[in-house]
Amino acid sequence: MDQLDVEPVFIETDVEMDNGADQGRSPHRADPTAAVDSGPRATPLRQLGLSPNHWYVVAQGTELTDQPLAVTFWHQPIVLYRGSAGQIHAIEDRCPHRQVKLSAGYVEGDRLVCAYHGWHFAPDGACTHIPYLAANQKLPTCTLRQYPVKEQDGFIWLFPGDPALAEQRSPLGVPEWEHLDYIGSAALIDVQCHYSFLIENLVDMYHGHLHGDAQVWANPILTGLEVTGDRVHAHYEADSYYTIDKIWSVAQLFVPALRKLHPEPLDVYYPYPHWMATLGDDFKLYCLFCPVDETHTRAYLIHFTSLGKFPDLHKLPMVVRRFFKSTFHNTASGLLRRVIREDLPMLQQEQAAFFRHPTYKGPELNRALVGVQQLIRQQAAEGER
Ligand code: FES
Ligand SMILES: [Fe+2]
């Protein structure tokens, strides 16, 4: 990992500063984003596109029932629906007849039926039936865009890029979702900001100040940073009270007096376009992204507690272990929602401040964010090719 220096860096952030450290007045004018931005001043980071050649998460599997579901990925309205065998299809959410939303229609077998005139569409987007087609008329050859889509680890993953690449690239695995050694909780983030604000928030472990006793680690120090073409890995040394080795350990989450800090490694990853973090052996987080447009991001924040310190659990019958996992599923979602509630106004204020001061660069002490911005720029450039 890179050796880290402690000089402040100046990055594309929108937080207004009133400490004399704004542009042109600091003695530390070395601008690390010069290495990030290539050539003449590029598109501001907060207005960049993305690389579509990755699997993005557009919904939880349980959100898609027997009705069509409308989702939006980066300006593109998409309708998801389940065919007769439960397999998922994803096509453009725009009837080629009069351009109304197909998601307002219904599913019949493997076909999606438009609400307006009842035209039928196959999973490949082809129109297959028109109820009032005359004997001397032919079906129009209109087709809709079809997206590679799959259900994996409890979520619906969509590949919005070059379909030829879809099978070459894998969704980020979330194996803990089904694994009986983990208890999972999930909560939706729906925030009016560019996705870069959210990923920077997640990589910056110094913002625990905002969350008070809802955060399970303390005193993080960034000691390692690795940036490659498709991921950032930031390593922090931290303290944590989080150890789940007794049945009542979970009470620490709700009763601060029971907490005892001990050192734990805190590793944070940005495997583009998603995020994950581990705190010691017992605690894992994911954030699965679905950027909607330049000022709107949806994502699923997921927490897992490992039951690895309960070896006797493995002796229980599978049916009991499954019951245990499903009974405690989502027990931490209230805490996740609290953290999200605290983050949302910060992110939305950053977005609003960007509109007021689009060229402002604020001082930043966390070098991991430079790596994040570098990766966002690289991937967005690839997406434009
Ligand atoms: S608008 Fe969809 S069938 Fe007419
Ligand atoms: Fe946060």
Residue 109 clears pLDDT 50, i.e. is over it: yes
Q: Which residues contact 160 (CB under 8 A, 6 or more apart)?
A: 52, 56, 73, 74, 76, 147
Cα of 286 from ligand 2 centre, angstroms: 13
Cα of 56 from ligand 1 centre, angstroms: 29
Lowest mean pLDDT among 201-210, 247-256, 283-292, 310-319: 247-256
Residues 220 and 349 occupy one common structural domain: yes
* Ligand 1 mutation pick, 108, 114, 144, max ligand atoms within 8 A of CB: 114
Pairing verdict, β 69-73 and 76-82 = antiparallel
Would residue 143 count as lying in a domain? yes
Cα of 321 from ligand 1 centre, angstroms: 49
Residues 161 and 183 occupy one common structural domain: no
The single-letter code of the amino acid at 128 is T
113 lines ligand 1 (CB under 6 A): no
Would residue 42 count as lying in a domain? no
Residue 380 clears pLDDT 90, i.e. is over it: yes
Residues 195 and 313 occupy one common structural domain: yes
Residue 18 clears pLDDT 60, i.e. is over it: no
Residues 263 and 298 occupy one common structural domain: yes
Residues 305 and 338 occupy one common structural domain: yes
Q: Where are the alpha helices (DSSP H) in 237-317?
A: none
Cα of 128 from ligand 1 centre, angstroms: 13
Residues 278 and 346 occupy one common structural domain: yes
Cα of 275 from ligand 2 centre, angstroms: 13
DSSP secondary structure string for all residues of 71-114: EEETTEEEEEEE-TTS-EEEEESS-TTT---GGGSEEETTEEE-
**Quick one: which ligand is closest to 189's CA?**
2
Residue 367 clears pLDDT 50, i.e. is over it: yes
Of 62, 58, 285, nearest in space to 154 by CA: 62
What proportions of the chain, in percent to the nearest 5, are helix, strand and coil?
25, 30, 45
Q: What is the pLDDT of residue 16?
A: 32
Residue nearest to atom 1 of ligand 1 (CA): 98
Residue 188 clears pLDDT 60, i.e. is over it: yes
Would residue 2 count as lying in a domain? no
Task: Tell me the pLDDT band of 11, cut-offs 50, 70 and 90.
Answer: low
119 lines ligand 1 (CB under 6 A): yes
Ligand 1 atom closest to the Cα of residue 98 is: 1
Cα of 210 from ligand 1 centre, angstroms: 49
Tokens of 7: 């000089």
DSSP secondary structure string for all residues of 26-57: -S----THHHHS-SS----GGG-----SS-EE
Lowest mean pLDDT among 38-47, 204-213, 326-335: 38-47
* Ligand 1 mutation pick, 91, 106, 112, 116, max ligand atoms within 8 A of CB: 116
Q: Which of helix, strand or coil describes residue 211?
A: coil
- What number is the average pLDDT over the span 138-151? 95
102 lines ligand 1 (CB under 6 A): no
Tokens of 87: 């397999």
114 lines ligand 1 (CB under 6 A): yes
Cα of 10 from ligand 2 centre, angstroms: 21
Residues 179 and 160 occupy one common structural domain: no
Q: CA 244 to CA 332: how far, in whole Å?
A: 14
Residues 193 and 299 occupy one common structural domain: yes
Cα of 150 from ligand 1 centre, angstroms: 27
Residue 37 clears pLDDT 60, i.e. is over it: no
* 62-99 burial: b if 16+ Cβ within 10 Å, else e: eebeeebbebbbbebebbbbbeeeeebbbbbbbbbeee
Residues 230-283: pLDDT tens digits? 999 999 999 998 877 776 777 777 777 888 889 999 999 999 999 999 999 889
Q: Please tell me the pTM assigned to this model.
A: 0.89
Q: By the 8 A CB rule, do 126 and 95 touch?
A: no
Would residue 16 count as lying in a domain? no
133 lines ligand 1 (CB under 6 A): no
Q: Residues with beta carbon < 5 A to ion ligand 2?
A: 343
Residues 97 and 230 occupy one common structural domain: no
The total number of structural domains in the chain stands at 2
Q: By the 8 A CB rule, do 209 and 231 touch?
A: no
- What percent of the chain is predicted at pLDDT more than 90? 72
Of 253, 223, 251, nearest in space to 238 by CA: 223
Ligand 1 atom closest to the Cα of residue 118 is: 3
- What number is the average pLDDT over the span 133-145? 94
- Residue 161 has φ and ψ, to the nearest 5°, of -95, -150
Task: Tell me the pLDDT band of 39, cut-offs 50, 70 and 90.
Answer: very low
Q: By the 8 A CB rule, do 240 and 280 touch?
A: yes
Would residue 43 count as lying in a domain? no
Residues 189 and 293 occupy one common structural domain: yes
Q: By the 8 A CB rule, do 34 and 256 touch?
A: no
Residues 227 and 185 occupy one common structural domain: yes
CATH number at residue 310: 3.90.380.10
Residues 214 and 109 occupy one common structural domain: no
Would residue 246 count as lying in a domain? yes
Q: Domain range for residue 121?
A: 60-166
Last residue of a domain, one of 166, 190, 209: 166
250 lines ligand 1 (CB under 6 A): no
Q: CA 35 to CA 45: how far, in whole Å?
A: 14
CATH number at residue 161: 2.102.10.10
Residue nearest to atom 3 of ligand 1 (CA): 117
